[in-house]
Structure 1
Amino acid sequence: MDEPLTPNPSHERSARGGADSDAALDAALRAALTHDPPGFDPKAHYRRIREGIAGAGLRRWRDGWARWRELRARAWVPAVSFGLGAACAAVLILALRAGMPQPPEVIEPLSQVLPDGPPAGVVLQVRFRDDIALSTLRASLRAVDAEVIGGPSALGIWRIRVPSEAEERSLRTLAADPAVLQVQPEP
């Protein structure tokens, strides 16, 4: 057994010397592993590693905290400020809008509200042309001193009230009007 004991790959170990050379190699390795290399202090080595890890962890923690403080200063404060500003603007707009007078709704009723008492006058049914303007319709009604009490219905019939003493004159005037297709007293 003059050959030196050096570790070989496992495929060479089994091919060269068999079980005896493996046992000798294992014994040599165990002997080498029980002694530290010259000039190596394991406790000092582990102490340096532990200090490096602890220092890196503490630095990482401090850097992370500083990064979060910076993000908070850069992101959260402006976001909260924007939200509060938007809320204040909304309240201000609602307060100003509530104090402003609303424009009146323009509703132009074509019929008037019926009075509480008995109707004074005669009710006529009038059918106007479909293509007349509202101003022409009003002029025709003004000519006979009539007021609209209903209409137009689904058939286009308007119910108007004229004074009782002017019923015949109103019928003739409306029948002669080119805007009127049909006029008759209400049954």
Structure 2
Amino acid sequence: MSQTPSDHDQDALPGSDAAERRWLEHTRSQIEAGTPPFDLARNWQRLAARVEAEGDWQRTAQARPPRPRFPWWQALVAYGLGAATAAIVAVSVWPLMPQLGGEVEPLGAPATPVAADRVMLQVVFRADATVAQIRAALDQADAEVVGGPGRLGVWRVAVPASRVAAARRSLATQAIVESVGE
């Protein structure tokens, strides 16, 4: 325990005033008073009352009949409302939607018509191929770019119908070509 100055020592402290003395006196009284004694009987009574109140609540909760959480008719009404909403949306929104044709257009390039004397090939070049290398490979095969590259890197090229096999061989032997197909 630390030493506290006595009353006659407080007056001797340099720079002390009445507020400091009162604070020191209050602090000393708090230290001397210590903590209050623990009342064991009173605390046991309080704990027993809480346990008894919890037991009463449990007994009343168990005595009540269980209430159904989601009766069958509510599920049926929710399903019916959903089906009715879907039907209304389909009838009112469907005519407003543009009707698309049956032709599917590739993502990379629009469908370009090819002359009757030409055949379409699909070519995938390596990722590190330069434009000059691609041009040289297509010129050697007598191929013309029709579309591409698409999102998958597919180029669509047209070659003369009489030279399809030779063009495929020519493109397949190039180091920058990964695949050739029709």
- What's the TM-score once normalised by structure 2's chain length? 0.37
- What's the TM-score once normalised by structure 1's chain length? 0.36
Greater Cα radius of gyration, structure 1 or 2 = 1
Q: Which one has the bigger helix percentage?
A: 1
